[in-house]
Amino acid sequence: MGISRVAVVGFGTMGTGIAQVFAQSGFEVVAVDVSEEILRRGVETIVSGPFGLRRLVERGRITEEQMREVLSRIRTTTNLAEAVSSADFVIEAVFEDLEVKRRVFRDVDAHAPKHAILASNTSTLSITALAAATSRPDRVVGMHFFNPPQVMKLVEIVRGLQTSDETVEVVKGLAERLGKTPVVCRDVPGFIANRVGIIAILEAIRLYDQGVASARDIDTAMKLGYNWPMGPLELADFIGLDVLLSIAEVLYRETGNPAYHPPTILKRLVAAGYLGRKSGRGFYTY
Ligand SMILES: NC(=O)c1ccc[n+]([C@@H]2O[C@H](COP(=O)([O-])OP(=O)(O)OC[C@H]3O[C@@H](n4cnc5c(N)ncnc54)[C@H](O)[C@@H]3O)[C@@H](O)[C@H]2O)c1
């Protein structure tokens, strides 16, 4: 199936990056969010953000003319029905809340063409549960980008219980057209990367909390011993400690595996407003 028109629902951190990646790869993109102000800020991020188009121009990676072309392929609207009415592919990146997402999937399903594939960028929610809100569960799939989508190569393609082989193949091909490397997995909590990575990060937090080693030394051990480009505590600060806590809580609840039990120190840091890089302080001070 040929995909050329894409709708991105939710134009926040991930939605803006995903829209940019699609537009840079030649797709026509319509982005949807709930207010004109959010849409305006989203476009500004795509132009001037840390991974935005202006940076690419400054680094000589694209020309001014190419930047204008990419931007001309991105349209924004607050009207979901209109945005998805001619889309071949819809990707949802709204808040990580099952009820909010199910409502979005139901509305998208009602207005998108029958052939359209509906994807979610969820990190922790079940694709099968989202698919159940639609009349086309065979064409619902997870397409999990990592932050920042403009930079990170990995895309996890998540196969819900009813997702068809054809849908998986189309979305794998789509990820490749974006210059990404797709991996395919079943619909389990945390998929692959978070399922493994979050345990390591939480274990690093426990070692830190027990005074086994300093944050620096824990990070150095993993960078030099395991060739991680960032240490687990640096990574925690980068992800955001509030985001990390909520992922750990979901994985603990869903799997019952005590390795995901959120350490008290993580809860206290979040309660204090020490959320990592974005708040200027987490395991490190920025
Ligand atoms: N931030 C990350 O590191 C990261 C990484 C991978 C996946 N994700 C997933 O991506 C999704 C989005 O996360 P984010 O960090 O970009 O969140 P965000 O809060 O930055 O953006 C969410 C956007 O969705 C909009 N929105 C909410 N309800 C809507 C609706 N009904 N219709 C249209 N827009 C609506 C909000 O106004 C907001 O702009 C979540 O499912 C999250 O789990 C996040």
Neighbours of 151 (CB within 10 A): 11
CB 209 within 8 A of CB 265: yes
Please tell me which residue in 92, 126, 156, 234 is annotated as part of the active site. 156
pTM (2 decimals)? 0.95
Q: 121 C-alpha vs ligand 1 centroid, how far in Å?
A: 8
CA–CA separation, 112 and 5 (whole Å): 11
Contact residues of ligand 1, CB 6 A cut-off: 9-15, 32-34, 38, 93-96, 100, 104, 121-123, 145-147
Q: What is the pLDDT along the chain (286 residues), one digit of tens a residue?
A: 689 999 999 999 999 999 999 999 999 999 999 999 999 999 999 999 999 999 999 999 999 999 999 999 999 999 999 999 999 999 999 999 999 999 999 999 999 999 999 999 999 999 999 999 999 999 999 999 999 999 999 999 999 999 999 999 999 999 999 999 999 999 999 999 999 999 999 999 999 999 999 999 999 999 999 999 999 999 999 999 999 999 999 999 999 999 999 999 999 999 999 999 999 999 999 9
Please tell me which residue in 92, 120, 121, 123 is annotated as part of the active site. 123
Give me the domains of the chain, ranges plus CATH numbers.
5-186 (3.40.50.720), 194-276 (1.10.1040.10)
The sign of the torsion formed by the CA atoms of 96, 102, 107, 111 equals: positive
CB 71 within 8 A of CB 53: yes
Q: 223 C-alpha vs ligand 1 centroid, how far in Å?
A: 30
Active site residue 144: yes
